Every structure is written in structure tokens, then in C-alpha cells.
Amino acid sequence: MKKMITTLALAAFSAAALAQTPQLRADNIDEVLSAMTLREKAMLLVGELAANQNAQGTQIGNTERYIPGAAGNTYAIPRLGIPPTVMADGPAGLRIYTKRNYDSHTYNCTGFPIGTCLASTWDVDKVKEVTTAMGNEVLEYGVDVLLAPGNNIHRNPLCGRNFEYFSEDPVLSGNIAAAYINGVQSNGVGTSLKHYAFNNQETRRLGADARVSQRAAREIYLKPFEIAVKKAQPWTVMSSYNKVNGEYTNSRRDLLTDILRDEWGFQGIVVTDWGGFFDATKCISAGNDLVQPGSPDFINQIVEAVESGKLSQADVDTCVRRMLEYVVKTPRFRQYKFASRPDLKAHAQVVREAAADGTVLLKNEGGTLPFKGVKNVGLFGCGSYRPIAGGTGSGDVNKAYIVSLVEGLRCAGFHLDDNVVSEYTEYLKQYDEKMWKLEWWQRNPVAPEFIPKALAESAKQNDVAVITLQRQSGEGRDRLAADFDLDADDRALVAQVAEAFHKVGKKVVVVLNVGGAIETASWKDIPDAILLPWQCGQEIGHSIADMLAGKSAPSGHLPMTFPVKLTDHASTANFPLDSPDIGGWGDNHTDRKNIDYTEYEEGIYVGYRWFDKEALEVSYPFGYGLTYTTFAFDGLKLELQEGDKPAEDVVEVKINVKNTGAAAGKQVAQVYVSAPKGSVDKPVQELKGFAKTRLLQPGESQTLAIRIPAKDLASFHVKKSAWVTDAGTYTFRVGDNSRNILCESKLKIRKQQEKVSNSL
């Protein structure tokens, strides 16, 4: 009896204590913060590392009990009503495991278009439509934050992760990223804008030092993040692995607090990239709120640092408060009842239709496309039979299928040459038998091309030839210089197929199934048409067939320059070309140029800024893209809307776009601005705004209005540590690519200056 009374008394005491313990709500964060122990606070700032690896692959967060295959989670603190939250990759769709123990259901996700394809739409509404569908899968599969989008600049064509980034231009990158974030977060889930910042190479990515000037940092590399933060407020920002000017980004208070929060107004949390080099104390002091995937050692470091006075309690509490503010926004805190049954069929249709908006038509001699009177197709190139839907690593998606061009063309009503199909099928079967199993993050090798024995007969029997050329890339390693050029097998295939088909009066179409820029200048005269759908997701075969058949029309424009040769890029002398095979991890060296450190000597002259400055010939200019119809621009009008202060001035650019051709289509108006001579060197022109028309029927017009704040015309003055818009006459140039300016007008702008922190 005495034991029973004691037990009941203890239970009553525990219940009373629990009743007095605050339970987290959106309106009692300070109360909960005050009730937390130091160790509980430290736990909330560190991810929960998995004790074991999952049999299905590398398990780098302790998510097996929540959403298997997600990247990581935060600790739960049940005593205070704090649930765990789950974060998962990635930029082309949700990445989780498809199979679970003791569960017959398959948890596939949709493979959406890669970043370069989304950026090629030049259409924020279309990007938001795509990522709204993407975010729905995040919600319905029980994930709180999607670790995307990637928003680093394409400094050089060989960066291994360019496929998941957007552009060489900060204005295009920033606006596409903002649309991406707004789409995903419209579902009530979060995003993680990454990799902040200067993650422009994968070689030695966990320790490489990006040595960059303050002006280049501000105008080129930080600008897309600034635009995305101000226009979309991602729930989280991910600090990058690398160093910048000698210090890891996750430990730079100037980068994470002074610029990101104090200047740009970021309101969310900063999370480290997974598994980098961290000093937990420095991270917290800098304003990096969450270390992932973390370890108990980091928790101990934080506790000991506070107890010893090395780390201030105030800095810890600031980060914990932000973490609690993040937690209360999540679906898991709201106890959303996810069923893991998103509408994958509807999302696949979104992918299929969106591809055309991001597909760039590079060449179309004699109206080769869309096909007219074509029934029989000779289908060449391994990529036609085994297309690449996206990049490797965290940018990949465990999707249910990838539609080949074989399937896509057949479903569209075309007849394929069975002899050619049989040869490729057998060739790829034999190739597979020689290959080995790769880890999830490793790059899948692309099968070398070959010339089918049925080529000559195919040219006689078929109406047209379609050749698909491929390139694969992914995180952890940069592309090799040879990967930029067509290799001997590629060249032989294009040359011999074209020779055979042209000899009998048949046309040849090349499809580029790539993630970034490749060399085109030396061979683009050979085929009659070149279609660049990039890696546009799991419906790639259907999407390409729709465009070839004319059911949809490509309307994409290049988000990067296609140079004549790789060495034309200003950054090529300062990039790890064909570096030792050390991938992202490297070793203990610290002094190898372009491996352990990289000098950004080109400054602000990245991409088209450099090609314009040097008046270099390019294969295809930034912003280039053809359509199945033609357009005319006219009626350019500039209106300066002056505010009470110069910082409030806005220039509205209006341009009328008319479809002058015989087919329906969409067109992009790109606004480039040439600044007056000022106190610093300035580019010939810079993209400052853009807009895309709706689908215009032949003869139909649309007036586009593009608003450009005058402060966006500023250059960064290092000595003044200020953004300065020089007074004078600015030339606003409107065209459909950076080297095809169709109309221009001038406008006087008054001077303005915005002082910012002197950092980096």
C-alpha cells in the first residue's frame, strides 16, 4: 500500500510539473526559451545524426523514423512540446527513399526540370507553377523543408552543379529563385536557398577558398541571393561548404548576419550544408543557427563554450529563438495529416508541358521544326534510348520512370526504324553488363556513341534523323574540359548520320540532353535543327516528341553564353580544369591554385559581361532562343516614377511585342542597361529586367511592362562601401538576346547612394 501511495504521489507530482512546463505555441516562444536548459538549447541548434546507415543508401540524418531518405531532421524536445522537423533534398524535386521496411507502398516523387531548364523559361509565373506542384509533394510526403533552390552563379561552364543553378547573370538567377521559393512555400512548407555563397566549383568543395573582391561579391555572387531573399523570404538559407577570403562561410558573421539579416532583412534560419567542416561555436556566433547533420560532439561543444564564456548566452538564445520561430511554421508542428499520396499523374503533366517553356531552339534551318509530313524517324544516339532527366547527387530524384524518346515518339504517332532501335537496344544491354553499381552521389557514365550498321538503309527508308547527344554532371566533382567538347564518337555520329541523310535529301535534328553549356561552334552548321531541352524531367521523351510534332513550341532562351571555345571564358585561367580526382573532399593541402584556393581575378566580368567587354565572338549569346514563329518589338516607352527620395525612383519600361509569324508562340523581352561613365569601370550593358508574353496567336500583340528600381542601376563602390547610382543618362536597350537589341531609348537618372557594411 505504501509503495502504491508513493507511486501515485510521484505521478501526481510529474503531472503537476508537466502542467507548469510551457508547451510551444506561436505566441509563447520567449516563455519556452526561458524554460529550456542549456543542453536543450544546444540540441535544437544541432541536427540529429543517424546512429546507423540505412540499407538503401547513405543515411546522413536520423530520419528513418520519420521520412526515410530525407537528408536530416532537428531534435524533438517533448518536454516543451517541440516536435522534430524534417529536411530533404533537392532542387529538381523531393528526394526520399522509394521503399520502406515492412511497407508494400512505393514512395516515388516527380522528377522536375533542372535549374538551367527552369531559368531558360525566363518566366517567373511558369517557374512558380512548376514549383507549386513540387512543394505539394514536399507537404504530402511529410517533409517540412525542401533543400533548394541552388542559386550560385555559373562562373564557368565546367562547374559540376551548374545544372541545378540558374544562370551566369544575377538578375535572372535571383528572380527565378524567388519564383521557385514562392511556388514551393505556397504549400505551407519551407525552402533552403543555397549554397550561400561562392560555391562555384565542386573540386575541393569542402575547403576551397574563393578569393573574391568585394565589388564582384556584391554585384555578381551575392546579388542573386539578395533578390531571392527580398522577393521571397525563404524559410532557411544554407551556408556553403567553402571558404571565402580565408574563412568558412558558416563562420562569417558579416555574411550571415550583417549582410543577410541586417541589410537584406532575412527572417529565417541559416543551416549548414551537410557534413562540412564546422566549429560549432563560430557557427553560432556568426548567426548560423543549425549545424547539420550534427553530432553529440557539437552539442557538447556549445554547452562547454557557454559555460566557459567562450560563447555568449545571448548569441545562443538568438539562434534558439529563430529555431523556435521556424519550428512553429512547419507542417509537423501544425500536425498536418499527410497521406503520402500526392497526385503524381497531374504533376507529370506539369513537367511535360513546362519543358517547352524552358527548351531553347538553337537552330531551325528551312523550318525543319516542327515536323511536316514526317512519319518515319531514324533515331540515333544513346541518349534517345536512355535520356538523362537530371543531374546526380542531391539534385537527383527517385522517380518512377524516365520517358525515352523511343516511347515519346511512338506515342506521338511516329514510326521508328526498327533495325536502328534493335541495334541500340543490344548495344546498351552489352554496355550495362560491363558497368558497376555506383553510389547515389556518383556520376553515371554516359554510354559512348556508335554508328549503327543500319545507317545507310535508314537514310533511305526514313523521313528524318533525330540524334540525341548527352552530358552528365553532379555534385562532388566538376566537369572535365574534354566534357565541354564533342568527343570523337559524338562527332563521328553527327557527321556520318548527316552525310547519309543529306545525301538523299533528308533532314537531321540534333537534341542536346545536357545540363550546361557545351561547345557548338565547330559542328552547328552540320544539322538542320538543334533543340536544347536540357534535362527537363521524367517526361523528357514526351516533351521532346510534343515539340517535334508541333503540339507545343519551344520558347526558352539561354541563361548563359555558349562560347566558341572554353578558353574564351575569363574564368578559365582560374578554375580547376582537369584537376586531380579529389572530388569535393580533397586532402590536407592548402596551397594548390584552383584547387585549394581560386582567385576570382575576372572580377565582375562574368559571362556576357566579359564577352561584351572584349568584343568576343560567341557561338550563341546570352538570352538567345528561336521559336516556331517570328516577333516584332516596337513602341518602347520609358517612364521615370520619382519618389520622395531618390531611393524610391522606379523606371517603367513598356514594350509592345507582336507575333508576326504563322504559328502561335511566346517571346521574351530582355532589358539591358548601359550606364553613363562614372567613378568605377562599368560593363557595356547589364540585364536589369525581363518579361515573357503569354501564348500569342499570329498577328496578336501584348504590351509588357517591366519595372526597374533606379537603385538597381547602381554599382558597388568599395572605398565608399556603398551602392552608387551615378547621375546621368542611361540607355535602356530591349531585345530578344544580349546581342540582338531591337529598340532602345535614353533616360536621365538622379544620383543616389546607399551605404552598407564594409565586409568580405
Distance (Å, whole) CA 448 – CA 431: 9
Is position 254 annotated as part of the catalytic site? no
Residue type, 610: W
Question: Strand locations in 621-727, DSSP E?
Answer: 631-641, 650-659, 668-674, 686-692, 701-709, 715-717, 722-725
Peptide bond into 542 cis (omega under 30): no
Which has the closest alpha carbon to 693: 559, 564, 553? 553
Q: What sign has the CA pseudo-torsion 337, 339, 342, 345?
A: negative
Distance (Å, whole) CA 576 – CA 40: 43
- Kindly compute the dihedral angle of the four CA atoms of residues 264, 161, 388, 57, in this order, to the nearest 10 degrees: -100
Please tell me what DSSP assigns to residue 747. E
What are phi and psi for residue 585, nearest 5 degrees? -95, -40
Distance (Å, whole) CA 687 – CA 739: 12
Distance (Å, whole) CA 151 – CA 299: 30
Q: Which residues contact 457 (CB under 8 A, 6 or more apart)?
A: 419
Choose, from 144, 169, 258, 273, the residue flagged as catalytic: 273
What are phi and psi for residue 203, nearest 5 degrees? -60, 125
Burial 378-410 (b: 16+ CB within 10 A, else e): bbbbbbbbbbbbbbbbbbbbbbeebbbbbebbb
SS3 at position 498: helix
**Separation of first and last alpha carbons in the chain:** 71
- C-alpha R_g of the chain: 27
Give one DSSP letter per residue of 520-587, joined into a string. -TTTTTSSSEEEE--S--TTHHHHHHHHHHTSS------SS-EESSGGGSGGGGGS-TT--S-TTT--
Looking at the annotation, which residues are catalytic? 273
